Amino acid sequence: MALRRVVILGGGYGGACAAQTLLATLEEDEVWLCDRFCGHHVTSRGPEPGWIIPLSRFLPLQPRLVVLQTEVHELDWRGHRVLTDRGVVPYDLLLLALGAWAEPCRVSGAQAHAPSLGALDTVPRLRRCVRQFARRGRRAQVVVLGNGPAASSFACAAARHFGSAVHVSVVPTAPEARIVPEELEAEGVDFYHEAVATAVAAHGVRLSQGEELPSDMTVWAGELEAAALPAAAGLSCSAGGRVRCDRHLELVGQPGIFAAGADAAVPDGRGGLVAPTAQAAIQAGRLAGRNIAHIVCGQELEAFQPDLFGPWQALSQQHAVARRGSLRTSGAGRSTLSDGARAPWLYAGSGVRLRTVTERLSR
């Protein structure tokens, strides 16, 4: 049989785990991994620096693995190729793992006054703001708007990193936020769990009860918008731009193209979609890798049945919290994960996550 080329777009949790699975499963076929960064870009958008690990640390170096640092511009699925700023990359089988960012600001005034944590200058702005207030002998009031782990993780990391120089609050942008209040409180972060942000202005956030919450810097970590590439290519996408997949993670109506991670709209079996978290992306990446290998070997595809732990939250580079049912564990990321969770797929957005990912993936 002719050798195949599997191309993976995105080297985050989903893409990196899929690449690792493919390299371990297929013996000869080529695996190409395209990402705009040369490392696993964990959260350089967090307030702490240095959250990138080179992909080479957890992907075994071998001639049939090509890691291409490039911006992917276009997906030509009819021609079985992707267009990148380093040229055209043809593929036989494709995996989309391009992630999602907190870009769209759906609260009035947020576009103007709440930079997204997806924007590269948000963290430098936050640093400047905190420094300015510290020089005047004042604590900066920081408000993070959002409903999930990105918001809570960013808020906790900011509170830890800047210490007494800031006071951080989290305000949901929709009811039923997926945030565990106790974790925020333990970090000294206020959580307005009964309120929803209705408007953002230069110096504050209006809450649903009418109260004005003063803010020196407001950060948007709200609804995620998936990478624009699949929708631009005419692939079927759900609200939020996530590409529609079946239970095998194969794109609906597009045999041979898979998606894994925050850019994939995968049915959760209860009428909704699997939430975009690190643990879901890791499990999806592994399954997509296995299913692509099944296609190459002419075997049946497996269905995605994620075993999700419940909230797992990185609170800082050195600290994480995990829950499963009544079990709660916290501490340094690694022991949190191994003692409490006993699950190799629990990682989140911090240096802890980096180290853990490195160790786990290299096994």
Ligand X SMILES: Cc1cc2nc3c(=O)[nH]c(=O)nc-3n(C[C@H](O)[C@H](O)[C@H](O)COP(=O)(O)OP(=O)(O)OC[C@H]3O[C@@H](n4cnc5c(N)ncnc54)[C@H](O)[C@@H]3O)c2cc1C
Q: Contact positions toward ligand X, by CB under 6 A?
A: 10-15, 34-37, 41, 43, 45-46, 71-72, 97-99, 117, 149-150, 153-154, 227, 229, 261-263, 276-279, 281, 312-314, 348-349
Q: Which is nearer to ligand X, 75 or 200 (CB)?
A: 75
Q: Provide the minimum distance between the beta carbon of 213 and ligand X in the complex, in angstroms, as a whole number.
A: 21
Instruction: Evaluate the CA torsion angle 18, 24, 25, 28 in order and state its sign.
Output: positive
Q: Which is nearer to ligand X, 109 or 149 (CB)?
A: 149
Strand stretches in 42-139, DSSP E: 52-54, 65-69, 72-76, 81-84, 87-90, 93-96, 100-101
Tokens of 186: 């333990």
Name the CA radius of gyration of the chain, rounded. Answer: 20
Q: Which is nearer to ligand X, 208 or 238 (CB)?
A: 238
Length of the chain equals 363
Distance CA 244, CA 230 (A): 10
Closest CA to 25 of 1, 51, 54, 60: 60
Q: Provide the minimum distance between the beta carbon of 51 and ligand X in the complex, in angstroms, as a whole number.
A: 9
Q: Provide the minimum distance between the beta carbon of 11 and ligand X in the complex, in angstroms, as a whole number.
A: 5
Q: Provide the minimum distance between the beta carbon of 1 and ligand X in the complex, in angstroms, as a whole number.
A: 30
45 contacts: CB under 8 Å, gap ≥ 6: 117, 118, 120, 122, 123, 154
Q: Which is nearer to ligand X, 12 or 222 (CB)?
A: 12
Q: Which is nearer to ligand X, 95 or 207 (CB)?
A: 95
Q: Provide the minimum distance between the beta carbon of 101 and ligand X in the complex, in angstroms, as a whole number.
A: 7
Do 67 and 59 contact (CB within 8 A), yes or no?
A: yes
Q: Provide the minimum distance between the beta carbon of 149 and ligand X in the complex, in angstroms, as a whole number.
A: 3
Beta bridge partners of 169: 143, 190
Q: Which is nearer to ligand X, 97 or 126 (CB)?
A: 97
Instruction: Evaluate the CA torsion angle 108, 113, 119, 122 in order and state its sign.
Output: negative
For residue 260, count CB atoms less than 10 angstroms from its CB and return exposed for 0-12, middle for 13-18, buried for 19 or more. buried
Q: Provide the minimum distance between the beta carbon of 150 and ligand X in the complex, in angstroms, as a whole number.
A: 4
Q: Provide the minimum distance between the beta carbon of 209 and ligand X in the complex, in angstroms, as a whole number.
A: 28
Nearest to ligand X by Cβ — which residue?
A: 12
Q: Which is nearer to ligand X, 200 or 281 (CB)?
A: 281
Please state whether beta strands 217-221 and 140-146 pair in parallel, antiparallel, or not at all (unpaired): parallel
Q: Which is nearer to ligand X, 205 or 337 (CB)?
A: 337
